[in-house]
């Protein structure tokens, strides 16, 4: 699998995206040491959807979404809009007007570290949005932050071009240069879990498959000696 920096064609982007989606956030973050979980209680407006794509990073001033408007002509089909927007703000930074534009540009999804609004309309668009909160008040459009520069969300630095995986379990970022290795590692973990799942379905217990009984017995014995 080619690294993201070498990806030039829509077909290659689609292949990487499909692989990451098929494995999911849980498998990717557990399998790849370079992947990072974005540790927050994300609200998925379309919870059944799972998406993955390269990030287009956007930094907003709290209560101001001018940067999102500026980013619209820099989006490509399959991109994930990653918006750092002051998660503690009480002002929504994205609603159905921007959502309609993003949908028309072919955006795969939106990760908004801040409030969203127009939830019913966004769901009707079938635009996958993960946000930190929902607020009805709209923003101003006065101060430009940045587009394409590094942003930090939940303590994790995200660069434009890094791969974002979003599903019902949350959000994970994979550095662009590590995506090939992440897919290989995730595939190995996925295949290994498939074998275990079949054994569990046949009635075997994880206590035996994972050889956990000796671990538990040793700790029970140690605890008993400590009394």
Give the tens place of pLDDT for each residue, 111-136.
999 999 999 999 999 999 999 999 99
- Evaluated on CA atoms 19, 20, 26, 30, the torsion sign reads positive
| Predicted local distance difference test score (pLDDT) of residue 137 | 96
Task: Give pTM, 2 decimals.
Answer: 0.92
Confidence of residue 7 (pLDDT cuts 50, 70, 90): low
Fold topology of 4-184: Glucose Oxidase; domain 1 (3.50.30)
All residues at 6 or more sequence positions from 226 whose CB lies less than 8 Å from its CB, including other chains: none
Overall average pLDDT of the 32-56 stretch = 96
| Predicted local distance difference test score (pLDDT) of residue 89 | 85
* β strands within 40-198, DSSP E: 43-44, 51-59, 80-84, 109-116, 129-134, 146-147, 151-153, 156-158, 163-167, 170-174
pLDDT at residue 195 greater than cutoff 80:
yes
């Amino acid at each position: 699998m080619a690294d993201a920096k070498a990806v030039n064609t829509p077909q290659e982007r689609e292949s990487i995206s499909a692989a990451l989606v098929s494995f999911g956030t849980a498998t990717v973050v557990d399998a790849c040491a370079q992947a990072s979980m974005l540790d927050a209680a994300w609200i998925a407006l379309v919870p059944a959807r799972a998406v993955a794509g390269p990030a287009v990073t956007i930094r907003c001033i709290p209560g101001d979404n001018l940067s999102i408007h500026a980013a619209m002509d820099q989006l490509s089909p399959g991109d994930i809009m990653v918006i750092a927007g002051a998660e503690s703000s009480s002002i929504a930074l994205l609603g159905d007007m921007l959502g309609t534009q993003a949908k028309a540009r072919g955006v795969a999804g939106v990760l908004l570290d801040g409030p969203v609004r127009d939830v019913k309309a966004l769901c009707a668009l079938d635009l996958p949005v993960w946000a930190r909160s929902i607020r009805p008040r709209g923003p101003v459009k006065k101060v430009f932050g940045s587009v394409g520069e590094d942003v930090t969300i939940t303590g994790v630095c995200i660069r434009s071009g890094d791969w974002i995986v979003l599903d019902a379990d949350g959000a994970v970022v994979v550095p662009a240069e590590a995506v090939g290795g992440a897919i290989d590692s995730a595939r190995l973990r996925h295949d290994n879990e498939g074998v275990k799942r079949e054994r569990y379905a046949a009635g075997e217990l994880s206590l035996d498959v994972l050889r956990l009984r000796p671990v538990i017995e040793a700790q029970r014995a140690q605890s008993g000696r400590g009394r």
